[in-house]
Amino acid sequence: MCIRDRSYLYTTGGSSSNLGHTVEYQFDFGDGNYSNWGNSQATHAYLISGEFNVRARARCSIHTSRISSWSSALLVRIEEENITTPSRPQGPVSGREAEVLSFSTGGAVSNYGHDIQYQFDWGDGKTSAWGDSSRNYSYSSVGDFQVRSRARCQLHTNIVSSWSEALNISILPIEYRVAGSVSYYDNQQPVPDVSIQLTGDVTGFATTNADGEYQKMVSAESDINLAPFKTKNQHVGAFDITTYDAALTARYALKLGNLNQYQMLAADADKSGDILTYDAALIARYAVGLTPGSNSCVGEWLFVPSVHQIQNISSDHLSEDFIAVLIGNVHGGWSVQENLYSLKTNDFFNAASIKKRQLNEQVEFLFFNSGEKNTIAVYIDLMFNPKVVQYVGVYKTHLTEQFELIENVESGRVRIGAYSVNVVDEPDVLFRVSFRHGKDSGEATFEIQKYMLNGETVFSGITQVEQNMKEITVTDYLLGQNYPDPFNSTTVIPFQTPESGRARVQIYNLSGQLVSTLFDQEVNSGNYLVMWDGSNSRGEIVTAGVYIYRLQINNFIDTNKLLFLK
């Protein structure tokens, strides 16, 4: 098998003259071409393909008219040049309009061994020039396309392969990145889990991450609106909104204090556009856990600006930022908070904050003002065992006669809020909170979950009070039944330990999944109360149902069930 355009050597021989003269030869190549008379070898290149009979004859070199007959024929087959089909192009299966995309192909060969050139069909009605096996291309329209390739001989450019298998590619519209952050108004803390809702030519949403950042890809030339939203009461800590906020609001309403533009948004508790003492009352009710009025917006989130508008987007927008404001949080200082846990203290709290005294059949807590405070707001969150003691009431003193007082009394818990437009700066008793012994005898354990002046924590901890005021020695580990149970707001989980060690109290669902870790710290021998407000580790209120609470101290492990209602 031979190929075109390549010279091949043909040889003959065996002819002689009876007179002993030398002979010369001629070849008939079968394609209409003959060699010159000469020696027994000749070369020839066929220019067409096909089958040809090569013959030879001889003559006397002296008497040239004396010629032999033609020899028997040698069959020569000249093969047509062909190019094998290239492999399917390699490259991306998706891209953007006007994006520079890279493709490659290969695998084509010439049976003649000639060099190969490639061409691409981009599937959009356009083809590349002939060249090497790698090309870049940018699509000018959106859609689905098939990219194919073919090859040809670089020498014989009319010898072309068939088209390869197609690579399918989807071209999407040009997109630009829209990004920004959401931070809190007074301390620039990042605000997570804010839903940035997109409307206009593009719909959807993006959610801020733990760093308060979000981003979204948007098609070119779109008109879009970006509007932030965050669920009411989400990531609102137990003490982000306090009676101090109510006091600041009341003082502004009576022209006794100033608020900046963001504080004014936070103080407008009913979003009426006016800041009145009514707004202060709504904030105070929220602070102590009372049911808000139907027009109360305390706990809602506002954002400045309320919307970003982008028209005919033609580039990245990376600074579409928002400022977050929590209605009711007038004093500021918000941050994403974990649950606040109890701390064990001794019987004598803090000479500058709280004292306890026994008065006949009653136990009374005295809550003091700090000499460094110009107090206008007080918040007390106190928990107790309702089977052993009963709440009697809270009493004002000469310092707090002008304070607005709000109570929220539940089984085993009392929350007290008070605020005033007038400043108290004397280091004396602000309020007295009284309890009397209940029907059951035994140890009465009180937890000061929080004592706050002007929104700042003065004290948090536990004290133990026994009816006969004698020290009780704990001899056994115990995980008690929570109270109240069932509950729909807050419940208290009691436990005791005879030894020091690391105590961990955790909530699990019935599937065994961890919901929240309420308490995880070193403790000494004694009794403890831990509060759970029905939220998970992300600060979200869980669904109603039965949950398991688990205590582990040293090698002691115990579990119990509780029922959360909504």
In DSSP notation, 152-166 reads: EESSSTT-BPPP-PP
User: Contact, 559 vs 539, CB < 8 A?
Assistant: no
User: Contact, 152 vs 116, CB < 8 A?
Assistant: yes
Q: Enumerate residues 6+ apart whose C-beta is below 8 A from 552.
A: 503, 504
pLDDT-derived band of residue 328, with 50, 70 and 90 as boundaries?
Answer: very high
Per residue in 512-563, pLDDT (tens digit) is: 999 999 999 998 887 787 888 889 988 899 999 999 999 999 999 999 999 9
Share of the chain above pLDDT 70, in %: 91
Per residue in 414-441, pLDDT (tens digit) is: 999 999 888 888 877 888 888 877 666 6
Q: Do you find a cis peptide bond into 305, omega within 30 degrees of 0? A: yes
Q: Where are the beta strands (DSSP E) in 193-282?
A: 195-200, 204-207, 213-219, 224-229
pLDDT for res 352: 40
HEC sequence for 257-285: CCCCHHHHHHHCCCCCCCCCHHHHHHHHH
pLDDT for res 465: 47
User: Contact, 93 vs 116, CB < 8 A?
Assistant: no
User: Contact, 546 vs 562, CB < 8 A?
Assistant: yes
Q: Is 419 exposed, middle or buried (0-12, 13-18, 19+ CB in 10 A)?
A: buried
pLDDT for res 341: 33
pLDDT for res 439: 65
User: Contact, 326 vs 337, CB < 8 A?
Assistant: no
pLDDT for res 441: 64
Per residue in 153-188, pLDDT (tens digit) is: 998 899 999 999 999 999 998 999 999 999 999 999
- Residue 357 clears pLDDT 50, i.e. is over it: yes
pLDDT-derived band of residue 398, with 50, 70 and 90 as boundaries?
Answer: confident
| φ, ψ dihedrals at 245, nearest 5° | -65, -40
pLDDT for res 466: 46
Provide the mean pLDDT of the chain: 87
User: Contact, 137 vs 120, CB < 8 A?
Assistant: yes
Distance in Å from the first CA to the final CA of the chain: 91
pLDDT for res 472: 46
pLDDT for res 385: 84
Q: Return d(Cα 456, Cα 549) in angstroms, integer.
A: 31
Q: Enumerate residues 6+ apart whose C-beta is below 8 A from 290.
A: 406, 408
Q: Enumerate residues 6+ apart whose C-beta is below 8 A from 113.
A: none
CA Rg value for the chain: 46
Q: Return d(Cα 297, Cα 243) in angstroms, integer.
A: 16
Task: Taking residues 366-393, report their average pLDDT.
Answer: 82
Query: Degrees (nearest 5) of the Cα angle 381, 383, 384?
Result: 155
- Residue 355 clears pLDDT 90, i.e. is over it: no
User: Contact, 288 vs 415, CB < 8 A?
Assistant: yes
Nearest-10 crossing angle of helices 277-287, 243-253? 180
